[in-house]
Amino acid sequence: MAAEVVEIRPAEEGDRRPLALLFAAVAEERDGIAAEPPVDVDRRAASWRLDGTLVALGAGKIVGLLHVDVSGFGFGEIGMLVARDWRGRGVGTALVAAGVEWARARGLHKLVLGVFPHNEAAIALYRKFGFVEEGRRRRHIRRANGECWDLVEMGLLL
């Protein structure tokens, strides 16, 4: 389906709360991201690192985010999510494209990320941009229900 994203732009001060609310909503799914409820929205909003965060706006609202956590060693680690109702419409693709561009402009040499093995949509998205699987951490993330999920490590040389 064609992208319906109006805009991808760097996060601004006024985005803190909508970012934290979107993060909390996706955490509620207990599926794609490591965070699970309860999410302290106020705390997350206050501590959100805006530098390196890109937001996707759809119908005037924040419908997706991508964050690049810049290390001191030249690589950046990505975290991202798209509002459930907006998935499958190219929002994630637009965010990763902008994230790669942002990382190159920052002079990073590599992007990395961790993804759950069952997250087919995310893995397909990253592969589309050339990310390759670099390893798999066994029983890495402990869930609230006591399960321990593997984490696939992916990387893209810029």
Ligand X SMILES: CC(C)(COP(=O)(O)OP(=O)(O)OC[C@H]1O[C@@H](n2cnc3c(N)ncnc32)[C@H](O)[C@@H]1OP(=O)(O)O)[C@@H](O)C(=O)NCCC(=O)NCCS
Q: Using an 8 Å Cβ cutoff, are 129 and 110 in contact?
A: no
* Among 69, 112, 119, 153, interactor with ligand X by CB under 6 A: 119
Which x/- pattern over 76-95 shows residues binding ligand X (rule: CB under 6 A)? ----xxx----xxxxxxx--
Considering beta carbons, is residue 45 or 97 the nearer one to ligand X?
97
User: Is there binding between residue 20 and ligand X (CB under 6 A)?
Assistant: no
Sheet holding 61-70, edge to edge: 7-10, 53-58, 61-70, 75-82, 110-115, 148-157, 132-142
Distance CA 118, CA 81 (A): 15
Which x/- pattern over 35-74 shows residues binding ligand X (rule: CB under 6 A)? ----------------------------------------
- Sign of the CA dihedral running 128, 132, 138, 144: negative
The set of residues, in sequence order, having a beta carbon less than 8 Å from that of 5 and lying 6+ positions away, is: 56, 57, 58, 63, 64, 89, 90, 91, 94
User: Is there binding between residue 121 and ligand X (CB under 6 A)?
Assistant: yes
* Among 19, 100, 115, 151, interactor with ligand X by CB under 6 A: 115
For the bound state, the minimum distance from the C-beta of residue 87 to ligand X, rounded and expressed in Å, comes to 3
Distance CA 133, CA 123 (A): 9
Stretch of 44-52, 99-107, 120-128, 131-139 contacting ligand X, by CB under 6 A: 120-128
Q: Using CB under 6 A, list all residues that contact ligand X.
A: 26, 32-33, 80-82, 87-93, 113, 115, 119-122, 124-125, 128
